[in-house]
Amino acid sequence: MTLIWGILNITPDSFSDGGRYTDPATAIAHAHELRAQGAAIIDVGGESTRPGSVRVDPAVEQARVVPIIEALTDAGIATSIDTLNASTAVAAVRAGTRIVNDVSGGLADERMLPAVAELDADIAIGHWRGPSDDMYARAQYARAAREVASELRDRVSAAAVAGIAPDRIIVDPGIGFAKTAEQNWEVLRGTDEIAALGHRVLIGTSRKRFLVDALGTAAPDEQPTIPRRDLATAVTSALAARAGAWAVRVHDVASTRDALAVVGAWDGA
């Protein structure tokens, strides 16, 4: 069964929910809500990776996320830490998190892979070609799915050299990172190429811009509402599950839970 990761952004500037959960009590309550709706993992992040975002000092990031992780661990709720910083990964694991989710695959901080190798935690290795402020300039592919798989293979090899066991590795094709809308769809259609690497596959499409482009609008200056984005997320998550994704990362757990249940019933699971 495909797992659901519920997104918990402890940030003022994330693209769709920035500022909503900066209060610790509100963040913890939302995590409990996501868990009750069916999230197996709460993915806690203290630094936005939206296009054009500005890097955050690791000390600030840790002040945001560590108390939340400690509280959720005490409540028996499993967490992952969404971070580019090795020091934050170490602090989060010490606070009780189980998975380090690095969208850069260890490229943003050369200390990340060696640090994770010493931790009793898994790592989600994302496909990444550079910082958010200029990543779209790097969206040059001849065959996107194949090239993403190849570049992920290189990062998996780097993780192995650092001492991370294969069964601790999750791969994420980095939907929305250094990819145009069509390239994102091409990568999703090629999920089997990512799965062929032999590791668990994490897919994160939640509320991203390429879904907005696909949905279209009634007027040029209109934007699809969050519920419409969440419906599109649920559909892509269900299709990813059918293509072999081990887990999907979403803001709205309930709609994705229902979509996965329907696909499971259709398939006789």
Could you tell me which residues come within 8 angstroms of residue 200 by beta carbon, excluding any fewer than 6 positions away? 169, 170, 171, 246, 247
Separation in Å, CA 176 to CA 127, 143, 161: 10, 16, 28
Catalytic residue among 64, 200, 208, 229: 208
Question: Token match 């798989």: residue?
Answer: 149
Tell me, yes or no, if 179 is annotated catalytic.
no
d(CA 126, CA 43): 14
Are 263 and 241 within 8 A, CB to CB? yes
Tokens at 108, concatenated = 């943003």
Are 171 and 222 within 8 A, CB to CB? no
Could you tell me which residues come within 8 angstroms of residue 196 by beta carbon, excluding any fewer than 6 positions away? 149
Q: Tell me whether residue 37 is exposed, middle or buried, using C-beta atoms within 10 angstroms of its C-beta: 0 to 12, 13 to 18, 19 or more.
A: middle
By annotation, the residues acting in catalysis are 208, 249
